[in-house]
Structure 1
């Protein structure tokens, strides 16, 4: 993701012909450098929050992150206005690379960077001679403190432990949630009559041959390839199909079934049981843990 100057323009600036020449010639001053670093920081953080919002699976978190993006946009515009007033030109800078692989890593980066940026503002505000610039940096710093508090409230270690959201009403981007799950089995939502679990099957491994006597099952592949087998008898799995991304699998009650990962990467899928088949809040990091925790599961 990148900072798009067309999507996020600089509306807050004074035309060059209206500027005092003494200010325009002040490009190398400490104040100008402080402003440029501050703009670069805020623009880089805005880019990070845009990435986080794009990857958030919970609608409330996505909305909160987009609000932060708007605040950062205001900061960039405000500081850019001051910079152009001092120099007579737009600031030139490179966004810091704050990319991440895991959403939780992105949250950690955002939290740590906000703390570091706060120190930057506190350290440099006293070096400013302009009361307007001081007020601008203090305003940005105060706003960032609120953002830091927000991330403290959704500390990643706590976020990762939040799994089962049933039986309360719930909305989620199921594709993102499924692809992000790295555990063999994670119960995402358990109600009285239905349960959804996320699964990640390693290459060459399988779910395990099983049968559910009293309920049907639905599975959907979100990423990867596999081979599904079903049959009325344990030793006679006469229904076989290759499955891939976006394929849905329906398993009738009383049917032996298994799903094997035939690809080279983890097979990501979600499974719906009606009624629930696992205890609420179930988290099995590996297949071995699942077999040990539920030896009689079938």
Structure 2
């Protein structure tokens, strides 16, 4: 079940985005052409199929501009939506609604796009045990939001930061001197609640890593045949994670190798925004 993010986590990002948009003098256009007392009713509507995420972000954008604006959700984050479907109704000051419109839609479209891409791949691999995971390749300052969107789409989260776990990558191995040296030091350093994962590029590296019993192994840029061999070698003694050049098209083939996780960076760094619009209704 998808848990909502506390408002205290969301507000700083929304506030910053609104301040960026309002600039030094506020919404010149609305102030010029709309009288202060005019009210409006609008709806946020889907323009295409997808999974919605970020409704609380949109709601807070309107609320921070004007506490009197009423935002009523018609769907919930994680729901499948169709073209023309109303996601939320908004009523209140016309000036306030228009001042918050772009920020609300930016967050809602961005997060819904991530959720939709995640859901598409999760569905394609649903016949396997593998789960889709994100990475740290996120928009600076918005990692918490984008990882929330991955969860809304049916994916799971990888590390939120460098302090979550030990993940030994190729550069760590190169500088440490070897897989053996890197894992030995990591095992000595890690506390009892800190998991250790290591990235390997070859089956030879994998065999060396398994001797030190890491909690997880990242199998980087391996073809399907090699992935199958790697999963067999791991034998359930560590979490297996595939990464590198994974697309919506080849994800099922990767999942069918038996890996536990498939991590995909583009879910958060270059997913297409879901088209959502604001329409005036009266």
TM-score (norm 2): 0.29
Greater relative contact order, per chain length (Cα 8 Å cut-off, separation 6+): 2
Q: Which has the larger radius of gyration?
A: 1
TM-score (norm 1): 0.28
